[in-house]
Structure 1
């Protein structure tokens, strides 16, 4: 389907976002008291000031339920109208059972299609694409998409290269399959082009890919091991992904100069700034949620979107470029418009 057709189609829309962060906040100073690091070292290398860490008994499912409930409430869509639930996560304690059916049950969503997806920190972008395509094809009417990760359970607390970076959270989006609930397309611009005032919650086509030859750069060696990464190799790969982001803009029929915001995976502030410079969109607001939230893996993009919306930094119809990237190595980008 052409970009022009996508702009005018009554396809899936994002109705609302929601997020959840655990109560406990861990500062750089607290980490410096137990590992060889400092506030200056952490800020200069990854840009993080504080992060939220889940309680021992708090699970991926618990956080997903909180974020999903918030997104559902904001959407105004009753739970019995959701018939697809997708949870993006890489930090379940066990592979069986998956999180999505239990999340759905606890939210009062009865017997939906439900599955988990593991694309690491790119998980939400992959899940959003899969759910939107299911709605477009008529396989479901409305969907709840959640990114939820408890990275603290998989990070060695004595390893300063990882324990200062990762945190816990969940972020969610509610998708409707037939445009806005009144059947209209939202506040589309007069010429049908994307830009400020475009249809609220529009989901553009994905540009995605992988680098399987570098899969060993991010690993959990076995079920008794912690998360490990080759930080320099991952940094080089992540900062090379601007062409993927630009391709997503091209497929959406949008120039980078028309973007209102850029929300990449919140991996590292230096990576975010490098990608933003390469994008060539100086007018775009660049998400910097990592400063307050750390790297929350699959939760980072919807968490940032939800927080930016709550803070009034995003407005309905704003065109926003998303870029997820994570283990595998996997990446995915798409343009959406804010609900």
Structure 2
């Protein structure tokens, strides 16, 4: 599928769904490990030829969080999910979607264990993998399920522990990635009311010809890890940063325009823009190309770094916790990740606010 491929939203440009149902964000939550790693910490630990100024200038990142030994992706996901349910204060979810590239185990999926940790019984639960685009993909899938009547209240979580797959000696990745989780709870609503938090339109795309730009070479079925010690360049995440930068800017900009067109919105109508928190220069370039004023761009890359599938919901939760956007404000979410994958969602800003915000200022 490309950014301009036919999708559900392509034939229902303003978000009308089966049976007149809408999907509405009614709960928001997040979870960040307490351990803060500064740029100086990362450079020292990996013996990297870099410093705080170099990292801040090129990425916009000053700090990132790291999960302690024994803390898995599922633990962070459960904490974020629990806070999203507390934020909602309503009925429990009837489905759980977990977007992650760092599952607790290769088998089984992590989502059923998260549902069990949350005491949700035997609801449907599954993982979705689209790397840094994972949450936007999962939010779109959950929206489609609500609109088609498959479920009423899906819980959508993006959670990652990239510290487990990043080589501390690789400057291209070690300075960028952090750990964390963010979540939203959706509920079924009446289409046409345009409630705060309603998902209006979306766009998803992928291009497998760029699959080697962000990848871990070994460990899957094409290059199994059979117990032998693998070289570092095979067992850790590798990213070709310059090529990724160009793809990310182009795809996020195109996808954003497609989602906005399907929502019937022009960029000046937007009051909030949250892009995948990968690199501040990417975010600035996409915002400039779309014509979105800096005052309407929100993020937290400085303090948490790139948290992959957790990036967008963490930024959403952080912005909501500080009541920076008025409910009902036209909002755009967009992301780009390995695969290559990308996606955008147009929604109105929800009324929900996190019951707990785990991001105090780092300095």
TM-score, normalised with respect to structure 2: 0.85
Distance in 2 between residues matched to 1:257 and 1:283, nearest whole Å = 12
| Structure 1 equivalent of residue 222 of structure 2 | none
Match of 1:211 among 184, 207, 210: 207
Going from structure 1 to structure 2, the CA distance change for 1:313 and 1:96 (only over 3 Å counts) comes to same
User: In 2, Cα distance between the equivalents of 1:86 and 1:119?
Assistant: 12
Question: 2:56 aligns to what?
Answer: 43
Question: Residues of 2 paired with 1:236 and 1:152: CA distance?
Answer: 25
> Displacement of 1:226 after TM fit?
0.3
Q: Could you list the runs of 5+ residues in structure 1 that have no partner in the other structure?
A: 189-197
Taking the aligned partners of 2:284 and 2:240, their CA distance within structure 1 comes to 20
In the aligned structure 2, how far is the partner of 1:244 from the partner of 1:111? Answer: 36
Q: Deviations over 1:213-245 (max 9, x none)?
A: 111111101125000011111001001121211
Query: Quick one: distance in 2 between partners of 1:5 and 1:238?
Result: 26
Q: Name the CA distance, whole Å, in 2 between partners of 1:85 and 1:296.
A: 20
SS at match of 2:200: coil
Moved more, 280-289 or 153-162: 280-289
Task: Map 1:82-161 to 2 at 5 A.
Answer: 82-161=93-172
Counterparts of 1:1-339 in structure 2, within 5 Å, are 2-4=12-14, 6=16, 9-34=20-45, 35-79=48-92, 82-179=93-190, 199-223=195-219, 224=230, 225-241=235-251, 242-282=253-293, 285-339=296-350
Paired with 1:92 and 1:56, the residues of 2 have a C-alpha distance of: 15
Q: Secondary structure at the match of 2:292?
A: coil
Q: Is the 8 A contact 2:26 2:88 kept in 1?
A: yes
Shift of 1:324: 1.4
2:211 match: secondary structure: helix
- Does the CA contact (< 8 Å) of 2:299 and 2:319 recur in 1? no
In 1, the alpha carbon distance for the partners of 2:173 and 2:205 equals: 25
CA contact (8 A) 1:309 1:315 kept: no
Query: For residues 217 and 308 of structure 1, do their structure 2 counterparts lie closer, same or farther at Cα, with a shift above 3 Å needed?
Result: same
In 1, distance between residues paired with 2:300 and 2:67?
18
Q: Secondary structure of 1:328's match?
A: coil
Write the distance in 1 (CA, Å) between the matches of 2:284 and 2:200: 24
Cα distance, 1:282 vs structure 2? 1.8
Would the aligned equivalents of 1:269 and 1:288 in 2 still touch at CA under 8 Å?
A: no
Question: Are 2:133 and 2:337, in contact at CA under 8 Å, matched by a contact in 1?
Answer: yes
Output one character per residue of 1:55-76: Cα deviation in whole Å (capped at 9) or x when no partner. Answer: 0110000000000000000011
